[in-house]
Amino acid sequence: MSQILDTVVSSLRDLVGSAVKVVPALIIALIIIMLTRYAAQFAVRIAEKIGTRTLQSRSLQSLLRKTANLTTWIFGIVLACVVAFPGLRLGDIIATLGLGSVAVGFAFQDIFKNFLSGILILIQRPFRIDDQIVIGDYEGTVEQIDIRTTKIRTYGGERVLMPNSEVFTSAVRVRTAYSKRRTDLAVGVDYNTPLPEAQSILQRTIEEVEGVLNKPLPEIDLVGFGDSSIDFVVRYWTKPRQQQVRQAQTKAILAIKKALDAADISIPYPIRTLYYYDQDKYNDYLPSAEANDAKKNDSRFNLPAMSDLDSK
């Protein structure tokens, strides 16, 4: 019995001794983690200053701040683990992180694909925040470019989250990439219209529309002969925002209609001519008796008899 008690006491002494040895290391590790918080804040401030001076993209500045914060925390946690567990070597930690990163990479390959695509979009800057773009079936204003998604606000007031990998690999139409945008407006006139007069009226009218730019000058082109009209295309330039394009187009349509009415030039509409006939007389599916009666009543089948011809 005494031997068992001696063994228990000896084990407790060893545990207490080990705990006493570990406590200082744990305290130092906790201090390192607390200091890491302040170091991360300092690193974020430094990254913010550098990003403001060297980078124009707000999204890229945000990426730099997040990277500085994450890197500082990783370094602080690894250092705390090395101090708290002296037997743990830095090489073992790096090897463990390497194996873990491979496993995580296979499990979250879509997330990493969007992450890398987001970094490339931020670096290449094919479009910017507040640009109006078209990607696939979606069109709207770019609100934010994150690491994983690009946020688009549609003209109908909806938010669309596009994965960066899809944005990076798709054709993107940037409507506000330049300072002006062209609109082609089709106008048809009657065939009896003097074409030079109509062209002159359209030219004067579109140049006076509010919102239409003088440079480049609007152009009036004849494009073809329609079914019921001769077709013009009025080409004019406006500022690129969608609202400005729509407002200018509405004013242009109102002004052109008013000017053509004042000049007594009509804008024709399609005309169709319909022919009707009695189907009962030419129905191939009537019974034979009804068909014969129809033939007798039809003047085309009432031919003179042979005896009548002989007598003549």
Are 60 and 124 contacting, i.e. CB atoms less than 8 angstroms apart? no
By C-alpha distance, which of 244, 237, 242, 238 is closest to 140?
242
Give the per-residue pLDDT at 98: 59
- Supply the mean pLDDT for the chain: 79
Give the per-residue pLDDT at 310: 47
Q: Which helix (H) or strand (E) holds 38?
A: helix 2-54
What pLDDT, in 10s, does the model give residues 273-308?
A: 677 766 666 555 555 555 555 555 555 445 454 444
- In angstroms, the first-to-last Cα distance of the chain is 155
By C-alpha distance, which of 135, 164, 137 is closest to 149?
164
Give the per-residue pLDDT at 264: 92
Give the per-residue pLDDT at 147: 77
Q: Residue ranges of the chain with pLDDT lower than 50?
A: 107, 300-301, 303, 305-312
What pLDDT, in 10s, does the model give residues 157-166?
A: 999 999 988 9
Can you list the domains of the chain with their CATH numbers? Answer: 18-107 (1.10.287), 122-174 (2.30.30.60), 181-262 (3.30.70.100)
By C-alpha distance, which of 240, 243, 245 is closest to 175?
240
Q: What DSSP character marks residue 302?
A: -
